Homo-oligomer: A and B are copies of this chain.
Amino acid sequence: MAEHGGNLDLALQRFGGHTRDWIDLSTGINRQPYPVGELPAESWSALPSRSDIQSLHRAAQRAYRTAAPILATNGAQAAIQWLPHLASRGRARILIPTYNEYAAVLSVAGWEVTETSELEALAGADIAVLANPNNPDGKRFEPNQLLALLPRVGRLVVDESFADAIPGLSLAPEAGQPGLLILRSFGKFFGLAGLRLGFMIGSEADISALAVMAGPWPVSGAAIEIGNRALLDREWADATLARLSRDCLRLDAEVARLGWPLVGGTPLFRLYETGDANRAQERLARAQIWSRVFSYHEGWLRLGLPGSEPEWARLSAALTC
């Protein structure tokens, strides 16, 4: 299996302690989650109805500012798992470095996968994949750059898992045209990764095909109920956006004292050049703070944002000691 953040199992094995002792900054998941609140009993007991799912779709269309066909999935990862089956196998090109599940999932399903670090080199692919903003380096593409690429590929898959915190970057308002397929993650910005909720936005044909593959009950009753509330809560989103935008600069300032330059990031995570990421990871792990390293780049360390003042204090102490 591909390496991932959120692998606290590994931290416990190597450095001990219990899950609750650790501050997991190895992901870009917001550590001040949307308040779940009470759920009606039917969310647990009843099969999600079509109208329930449709109401979630409408909430997501509103939040993502799109009128295009949309499909709720069991996390953005579930959407990735179906991607290889959307068309006959062909040439996939992936803009790297990026989230490593695309190459893994497409390869296993028999696609010919090429990785490239040049946007232009995606042209000619049957499926071209990129993330905007990108994970882990935070690289951003203007919507127009991507729309210019669209006619030159079979399908353009834009992973917008971290786009909630960067208004204006999303292609969702342009979705619906053939060949453009957008993935959204609910759990990262809303801090509810355990809920498993994501969305695909695309053409009528693609979303219909994906809906058939995903089946009649692709998401849980809890995902429908909480997703509906959270996606329509502009006040919470605005406050969260403001906090994350402040806090990511605070993290940069903390880290700057060590002389680790910022490679890039989004308001939900930051990537630093540490020179020796394994050593940096160990240093934080001794204070039971977990971070993300990358086998393909020995200097890179990715950190999510602490979620409370006690967490900030522990991070600050770990960085200065």
A interface with B by C-beta (< 8 Å): 1-2, 4, 6-9, 19-20, 24, 27, 29, 31, 33, 36, 41-51, 74-75, 77-78, 80-81, 85, 101, 105, 108, 187, 191-196, 212-223
How far is A77 from B216 in the complex, measured between Cα atoms in Å? 8
* A77 / chain B contacts, CB cutoff of 8 Å: 215-217
The answer to whether A49 and B220 have CB atoms under 8 Å apart is no
Tell me, rounded to whole Å, the shortest Cβ–Cβ distance linking A40 to chain B. 9
Residue from B1, B194, B222 within 8 A of A194 (CB atoms): B222
The answer to whether A6 and B194 have CB atoms under 8 Å apart is no
Residue from B6, B24, B45 within 8 A of A191 (CB atoms): B45
Tell me, rounded to whole Å, the shortest Cβ–Cβ distance linking A105 to chain B. 7
The answer to whether B7 and A24 have CB atoms under 8 Å apart is no
How far is A2 from B19 in the complex, measured between Cα atoms in Å? 43
Residue from B19, B46, B51 within 8 A of A6 (CB atoms): B46
Residue from B74, B194, B215, B221 within 8 A of A43 (CB atoms): B194
Residue from B19, B49, B191 within 8 A of A8 (CB atoms): B49
Question: What are 22 A-B interface contacts by the 8 Å CB criterion?
Answer: A1-B216, A7-B49, A9-B49, A20-B42, A33-B41, A44-B194, A44-B195, A45-B192, A45-B194, A46-B193, A74-B74, A74-B78, A74-B196, A74-B218, A77-B217, A78-B218, A81-B213, A81-B215, A195-B220, A195-B221, A195-B222, A220-B223
The answer to whether B49 and A29 have CB atoms under 8 Å apart is no
Nearest CB in chain B to that of A218: its residue: B74
The answer to whether A78 and B215 have CB atoms under 8 Å apart is yes
Tell me, rounded to whole Å, the shortest Cβ–Cβ distance linking A305 to chain B. 14
Nearest CB in chain B to that of A20: its residue: B42
* A193 / chain B contacts, CB cutoff of 8 Å: 45-47
Tell me, rounded to whole Å, the shortest Cβ–Cβ distance linking A302 to chain B. 15
Residue from B20, B108, B217 within 8 A of A196 (CB atoms): B217
* A44 / chain B contacts, CB cutoff of 8 Å: 33, 36, 192, 194-195
Tell me, rounded to whole Å, the shortest Cβ–Cβ distance linking A225 to chain B. 9
The answer to whether A215 and B105 have CB atoms under 8 Å apart is yes
* A217 / chain B contacts, CB cutoff of 8 Å: 75, 77, 196
* A43 / chain B contacts, CB cutoff of 8 Å: 194
Nearest CB in chain B to that of A79: its residue: B215
On whether A42 and B19 interact (CB within 8 A), knowing A9-B49, A78-B215, A222-B194, the answer reads yes
How far is A65 from B44 in the complex, measured between Cα atoms in Å? 26
